[in-house]
């Protein structure tokens, strides 16, 4: 397994629409393993393949929720290949979102609090399920990546531009800190 570089906005690859996965191969399973390792190292709870430069309709999620309040996070890795939302509730819920491709920036985004989704798992088995809560939010966030959409695209132009300016400034300052 390998930790892959995560693309950050404004990288144009992040704006590509991802293509469907034709077949689940050993090469794809290796990518899945690498994506989990990359996500855990970042650390994050979701990662789309396009974020590591592979514009395929593939994403991984692990909410890593603690079993007990102060316990170690319990890993429940989930793989979504060619995911699609079949239906979404009319009820929107705001969640504070962040993104590994928009580092260290967070904002409230309203999304449906319940969805019905269909996808293939890592074995290529078709799945369909009603999903609620944090998993519904993260799945919708990661599926946006497959369409070239970042969470900041759901914000007002003012908020989005402010975040982009801060990211550009941080990038300019980065080389000076290393010197």
Report CA 75 to chain centroid distance, whole Å.
16
Coil, strand or helix at 163: helix
68 flagged as catalytic: no
Q: Which residues of 96-125 are buried (b: 16+ CB within 10 A; e: fewer)?
A: ebebbbbeebebebebbbebebebbebeee
The contacts of residue 130 (CB under 8 Å, 6+ apart) are 114, 115, 116
Residue 57 and residue 19 in contact, taking contact as beta carbons nearer than 8 Å: yes
The contacts of residue 98 (CB under 8 Å, 6+ apart) are 104, 105, 106, 151
Q: Which residues are catalytic?
A: 142
């Amino acid at each position: 397994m390998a930790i892959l570089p995560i693309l950050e906005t404004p990288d144009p690859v992040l704006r590509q629409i991802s293509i469907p996965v034709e077949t689940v191969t050993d090469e794809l399973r290796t990518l899945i393993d690498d994506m989990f390792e990359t996500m855990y190292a970042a650390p994050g709870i979701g990662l789309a393949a396009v974020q590591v430069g592979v514009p395929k309709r593939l994403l991984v999620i692990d909410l890593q929720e603690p079993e007990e309040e102060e316990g170690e996070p319990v890993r429940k890795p989930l793989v979504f290949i060619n995911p699609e939302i079949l239906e979404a509730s009319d009820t929107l819920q705001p969640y504070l979102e962040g993104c590994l491709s928009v580092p260290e920036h967070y904002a409230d985004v309203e999304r449906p609090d319940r969805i019905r989704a269909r996808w293939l798992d890592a074995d290529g088995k078709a799945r369909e399920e009603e999903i609620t809560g944090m998993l519904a939010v993260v799945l919708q966030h990661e599926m946006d990546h497959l369409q070239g959409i970042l969470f900041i695209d759901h914000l007002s132009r003012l908020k989005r531009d402010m975040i982009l300016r801060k990211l550009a400034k941080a990038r300019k300052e980065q080389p000076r800190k290393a010197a």
